[in-house]
Structure 1
């Protein structure tokens, strides 16, 4: 259904599992998408700056651009729950899950966030938070990155996989996290509040 109003919310339902849902606070717009094993289509919520494009779930889920917040999310391989997105003008919360594992979730408050995630059987992807200089590069997607919280940046990154990990975290706060996939040691050179190897 498509209503006429301030934001013209779009809701598409099918018969199977839910890919995810999208809510833009302050406008009452809600987009619900189901049936990940087929082509869902694409959705534009007018008046909110939120554009959602979804392709076949066995390939690329699509891309999500929130023009009002500077948040761009690109997610690949969607045989799973895509997650949910909440935009409060400056706050963007993104949750992404997979059937075989949890890719991770990202919470950015008042900053510009760009997220790129690749196929789970190759490189997990890279994460750049503009305005804070934080960059996370993770290799070996069949691995457990753990989760990282950087105080004062508004950047929280959680990536969980199944095995060992190679990755690094750096930024304006001179944060560096090195995980040794043999000894599972963690090196901390910054005010990192928490580092956990799952």
Structure 2
């Protein structure tokens, strides 16, 4: 996906460890709060300070998606856990719109005073798309815009995933086996190789 096509893109991206996939297939993609409240086995990749702030803002009740797989969060996580295998779970933006997902036009933790969840259409228009497409050096504002989020309190079952992006053919085969073992044999979800992983 070229950076210039982010606004016109059709997908939303959720980064997670491959080791979380079995639980996600079984329970769906759920909020951090639901995971904790139900003692679901799960390895969190977010920084503890960020988790605490998100909980204070009530964002732990939502599952977050990004509009592209190039945010500074994604880069930092993949660098911090360089020995881990990651995947992107993607859903169609149309599914998010039809199910009243919310949007944060900028990363909320650096602008807590102006923190506001928007309905999908209003939030989509509130995103600074010109800044979202900026290449090269990123100041704080640019990083925050590139980490705009689309969020839902709903459980997103695996059968509604549009695709799962993986790093290579070996992981692709493994993910397909995991899906098939749980009776998910139809496409979508597609399992594709994402070269940014």
TM-score by length of 2: 0.23
| Max Rg structure | 1
Q: Which has the higher contact order (CA 8 A, sep 6+)?
A: 2
TM-score by length of 1: 0.23
Of Structure 1 and Structure 2, which has the larger fraction of its residues in helix?
2
